[in-house]
A = this chain, B = another copy of it.
Amino acid sequence: MAEITAEKIWDLWTAIQEKRPLVHCITNIVTVNDCANILLAAGASPTMAHHPLEAAEVTEGCSSLVCNLGATESFEAMVAAGKRAFELNHAVVVDPVGAAGSSFRRKLCFELLHQITPSCIRGNLSEIKALATDSSTASGVDAAKEDMLCGGALEETAELVRRFAEERRTIIAASGETDLVSDGKNVYAVHNGSSMMAKITGSGCMESVLLGAFLSVENTLESAAASCGVMGICGELARHRTREVRGGTGTYRIQLIDAVSLLRKAQVKELQRVEKIF
């Protein structure tokens, strides 16, 4: 496997614009609008059908599926859509939002993973740790402070993510100051991103649906890492622009969608810091 280059990231990005993949999102009420808008900004197309009686049929017309555990009320639809997506060989992303602070959500997540086979599980590091150890690691939906990764612990954490990916036979994407993405063998560290992303709701949920778009054009570890890279790059571009206009977090949220819809190859080349660490 080659290192990810800006060329490769841009090829995947262009493939999304060309294919215009329809991404079926079963996701929570808090950020569902942002999820739809980021997919459109990326050149993909969202559909949000969560009725158990239509979830499987809707998935048939789509290219990938994203199940966000924040939609606790739509568990049945996730199972129906997930099973059909598997039969059709669609990429499936599971986002265990809130798993760090709710045993009910962990139970729901394990039950979902028992019934469907995701291509990728994406959460913040506290959520990934909570699943790996089946125990609470944080309250609420944000990562615990100690899980906001810095230099020293990076290798150790990367190995934890790799082992969990190996155990689950799927790609794991653990978001944080540095995102760690592994398929159980290799691990990518994505150094892109901005602390502003944690100051708006939905950064994680949007990252998950963007993964749905990337994996629908190429269902590989490289593609998952590229997706996290693009999200991080756009997070940086949005911070830059928000500072320019002296905006706050409201402006930042808008600039993040703008950055996705206006992304240029030169920006990817200049900013990408997606590194294969083992």
Contacts and interface: CB of A to CB of B under 8 A. Distances in A.
Interface string A27-62: 011111110110011000111111101100110011
Interface stretch (A110-118, A134-142, A165-173): A134-142
The number of times this chain is found in the oligomer is: 3
Contacts of A142: 45
Interface residues on A, range: 35 or more
B257 A261 contact: no
Contacts of A37: 200-201, 249-250, 253
Nearest to A98: B49
Contacts of A31: 33, 36
A40 B201 contact: yes
Given A30-B32, A53-B104, A200-B40, A139 B250 contact: no
Contacts of A34: 33
A220 interface: no
Interface of A: 22, 28-34, 36-37, 40-41, 45-51, 53-54, 57-58, 61-62, 70, 72-73, 98, 101-105, 136, 139-142, 198-202, 246-251, 253-262
